[in-house]
Amino acid sequence: MVYQHKYVDGSPINLLLGKVVCVGRNYAEHARELNNPVPSEPLLFIKPATSVVPLAEPIALPKGRGAVHYETEIALLIGAPLSGLVSAEQASDAIAGIGLALDLTLRELQDQLKSKGHPWERAKAFDGACPLSAFVPTASAPALNDLPLQLHVNGELRQDGNSSEMITPIIALLQHIAGVFTLQPGDVVLTGTPAGVGVLQPGDHLKLSIPGLLQADTRVADH
């Protein structure tokens, strides 16, 4: 199924899908659970548009490529260009919607790449590596610095965090990214994952939520 940005009411968003900018280790406890150092500035990488699939569709795990880990993240849809030195107000105004995403990761491959000092894209940017939900208009969202985030797998709570725990908060993160490379309308920013990541298994049922704002359900396809 071809991905199209949509609002939660099903109406299409008139923005073409661009790149997905991700931030690694933005929750200290997640960095620690993988025995990674906590970065002193945002750790950025990119997933291409070809990695994005609708979260509502069954997740297809890559075959023969090792364990696939889930990482639940708050997703930001960019609705206006951000480039260079931007104010907090400009960054806030550029957010067109808030959604949920899975940053799917080939963990064994990522560990191999890290050990060699190589980029992560082979483990992070494969086709289907970014299941993405519909978006809630920003005006409907509470304060960005107090967004709860949860993942239940087969009814069990696996991830439970809050944007207040981010090392680099959402607005500061957008300002930082804009100073590195331009964000265009239709781009998506994934803001990091809290602790509790783990392996997906065929048949798993997942419920992602920003409690009180947005919920998205999906499952892992059977082999």
Q: What's the confidence (pLDDT) of residue 58?
A: 97
Q: What's the confidence (pLDDT) of residue 39?
A: 75
Which tens digit of pLDDT belongs to each residue from 72-95?
A: 999 999 999 999 999 999 999 999
Is the model's pLDDT at 142 over the cut of 80? no
The domains of the chain are located at: 20-219
Is the model's pLDDT at 34 over the cut of 80? no
Q: What's the confidence (pLDDT) of residue 114?
A: 84
The Cα–Cα gap between 221 and 24 comes to: 26
How does residue 102 score in pLDDT terms, banded at 50, 70 and 90?
A: very high
Look over the chain and give the mean of its residue pLDDT values, rounded to a whole number: 94
Is the model's pLDDT at 183 over the cut of 90? yes
The Cα–Cα gap between 163 and 145 comes to: 5
Residue written as token pair 């490379």: 181
- Are 175 and 144 a contacting pair, CB within 8 Å? no
Q: What is the mean pLDDT of residues 36-58?
A: 91
Sequence-distant (6+) residues with CB within 8 A of 47 are 19, 20, 22, 103, 124, 125, 129, 130, 190
Q: What's the confidence (pLDDT) of residue 33?
A: 66
Sequence-distant (6+) residues with CB within 8 A of 154 are 204, 205
Of 97 and 223, the structure prediction assigns the larger pLDDT to 97
11, 68, 129, 194 from 103: Cα distances, Å: 24, 10, 6, 12
Is the model's pLDDT at 207 over the cut of 60? yes
CATH class assigned to 20-219: alpha beta
Q: What is the mean pLDDT of residues 172-198?
A: 97
Q: What's the confidence (pLDDT) of residue 31?
A: 56
Is residue 218 classed as helix, strand or coil in its secondary structure? strand
Q: What's the confidence (pLDDT) of residue 35?
A: 67
160: region left, alpha or beta (phi > 0 left; psi from -120 to 50 alpha): beta
Q: What is the mean pLDDT of residues 143-147?
A: 94
Q: What percent of the chain has pLDDT over 90?
A: 82
Residue written as token pair 């206006």: 80
The Cα–Cα gap between 123 and 111 comes to: 9
Which tens digit of pLDDT belongs to each residue from 126-135?
A: 999 999 999 9
Q: What is the mean pLDDT of residues 2-6?
A: 92
Residue type, 41: E
